[in-house]
């Protein structure tokens, strides 16, 4: 089984709601550590670097949460995965 351990995403987000709220929502996608860094700001948007680490990051939930927040995923800049052998039953 391939597990996603870490993602670094480039996200464009409106100023409102705040990046704090986005980080909270992303953390609710699982047992994740979420770090959001504001890279650039203009009048209406912020360019964010979003780093998510966890045992098995749920990318579908992350992507859906970003979209529902009113933000857009520009790119996946880094990814770390791990191959975990399936348990023998």
pLDDT confidence of residue 89? 73
Share of the chain above pLDDT 70, in %: 100
Tokens found for residue 68: 């529902």
Positive or negative torsion for Cα 57, 4, 74, 37:
positive
Instruction: Report the pLDDT averaged over residues 18-33.
Output: 95
How far apart are alpha carbons 67 and 79 in whole angstroms? 20
**Mean pLDDT over each residue of the chain, to the nearest integer:** 95
pLDDT in tens, 56-81: 999 999 999 999 999 999 999 999 99
Tokens found for residue 41: 């700001």
Give, as one character, the DSSP assignment of residue 63: H
Helices (H) and strands (E) in the chain, counts: 2, 4
How far apart are alpha carbons 37 and 72 in whole angstroms? 15
pTM of the predicted model over 0.75: yes
């Amino acid at each position: 089984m391939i597990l996603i351990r870490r993602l670094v995403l480039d996200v464009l987000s409106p100023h409102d709601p705040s990046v704090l709220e986005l980080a909270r929502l992303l953390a609710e996608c699982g047992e994740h550590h979420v770090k959001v860094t504001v890279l650039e700001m203009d009048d209406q948007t912020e360019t964010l670097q979003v780093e998510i680490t966890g045992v098995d990051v749920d990318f579908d939930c992350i992507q859906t949460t970003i979209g529902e927040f009113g933000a857009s995923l520009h790119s996946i800049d880094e990814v770390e995965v791990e191959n975990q052998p399936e348990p023998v039953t």
